[in-house]
Each structure stands twice: as C-alpha cells, then as structure tokens.
Amino acid sequence: MKLVSMCALPLALLVIPQTVLAQSWGNQNQQNQPPPAGGYGQPSSAGQMQSGGLAPPPSSATNSEEGRTEADLQEAEAEDSGRGLEWFYIKVEGGVSHLALQTFKAEAVENIGFVAETQTGPMMGAGLGFRLIFITLGPQVRLVKTDSYDLWTFDLEGGLRMPLGKIEPYLTGAAGFAAMGSFELSNPNAAPETQGYNVRLGIGMDVYITETFSVGLTGNAELLGLSVTGTVPNVDRAAPDTTDPNADPAALEQQGLDQLAEANGSTLGIATTASLVVALHF
C-alpha cells in the first residue's frame, strides 16, 4: 500500500496541471470567437446575413419617406377629376363680337364707303376636332351678325391645353377664310362678293362638370383682311357728273353702276370676341 501511494502521488502531480491548462485554453478560445451571425442573443439566419455577418437595423428614414409617398398618392387620387384620355371633341359657342373695319377703298372711286367702321353684334360658332394629350386641332366656323352685314369665318383652329384636374386653361390660334354678305345697300339687286382671310389668337378656360362635358369662357382678337368686287353702294353718288342737259338720267345711272361694278376695294380691320363655350369630350 505504501508503494502504491508513493507511485500515485507523482502521477497526480503530472495530470492535474495539464487538466487545468486545457480548461484555461478552452475558455480563452471561447472569448476570442465572434458573436453569432444573427446578433447577440438572436438566432442566426442565412437569409439575414449580409456583409460582415450582421444585418443592418431597419431604417426609420426609409419608412418615413415611403409613408409620405403613399400619402401623396392618396391625396392625388382624391383630387383627380377621374378623366381618362381624350381623343375627340365637339363644341358650340355663343357670345358678342365687336368689329372695327376701315371703310372700303376702291381703285376707280376714292371712297365707296358702304360698311360702317365699327359694328357690334351676336356671334355663334361650332367646331370639332381631335386631341393628342395637350394639343387640339380641328375646323371651326363662326357667324357674326350686325345691322349692316354678316361676317362668316371658316378656320382651322389649334390649341394648347394645360389640364389642372377639373379646370383646364388653354391657348388657341386659328387662320382661314372670311366672307361678308347680306349688305343693306340702296340697290336690292346688288350682290357684292366680299371675301378674304382672318387670323385669330385666343385664351380661355374650361371647367369639366363630368368626364365628358365641360363649360368654359374664351376671348380672342382677330385680324381681318377683306377685298370686295362688284360694289354698288349709293346710286346717286355713283352716277357720273355731267352737264349735258339732254342726257338720259337712266343711262347716266347705269353708267355709274357699271363703273363701280368694275372697281375693286379692300379693307383691313380687327375683331374682338367674348363667348361661352359648351363642349363634349370623347
């Protein structure tokens, strides 16, 4: 027994230090190891791992920006007029026109003056055309009635639209053919041919009551260039001056009419118009 005890003591002295050193080395390795990929106290997930082994925390700034964007979209949807794409339109209008025309000047006669320099009267019009997003284009006809004559215009009108929900301001421009008729002359058989051109610029605004129906106001200014042939303004003034007492009055009157029938006249004037416009949109 003494021999066994004497042998066991040296062995214990050798084994115990080695065990203590092994435990100390294992604890040191555990302290030097990095934390789990899922973060401290959280399970790791391969789908959450990013560069460096850690997933970044959620960004409050990103969430706030997304919330503002969604709110803006909802507000825009609430304010939207519900209008879809528009391809065609039909419109009618009515208003008042004021015309300022120079008195006609004839080549053979100094002043044949059968048109008043200024006239005001009701205006009626209609038009149709097609629309491509912001641009409109189509024919338009207008009639202005005055005490002395009727003024017709046949134009090709283009427009630039600025849709702002249910309210839509616009600019227009038109050019085409103009003609006059129904003159109140002293000779009821006179049939003057008065025609020329017109150029018009305008501004207006439509309010969409529904998706396809709108009501609006428009105003424009117009340049008119007209020429006249075969005028018979005043028989007494048209008759040539003669001192022949034997001359036939009827022949002299006819001679004066023939002279004016060969004369050509022209005028340049402006017109301003304000009108109410009702339109259908498809």
pLDDT at 148 over 60: yes
Predicted confidence at residue 95, as pLDDT, reads 98
pLDDT at 128 over 80: yes
Predicted confidence at residue 233, as pLDDT, reads 45
Averaged over 113-138, what is the pLDDT? 88
- Summarised one tens digit per residue, pLDDT across range 244-274 is 667 677 776 666 655 555 555 677 889 999 9
Predicted confidence at residue 279, as pLDDT, reads 98
Domain 88-281 has what CATH class? mainly beta
| Residue boundaries of the structural domains of the chain | 88-281
Alpha-carbon distance of 13 to 66, in angstroms, equals 70
**pLDDT band at residue 73, thresholds of 50, 70 and 90?**
low
Q: What is the pTM of this model?
A: 0.60
The mean pLDDT of the chain is 74
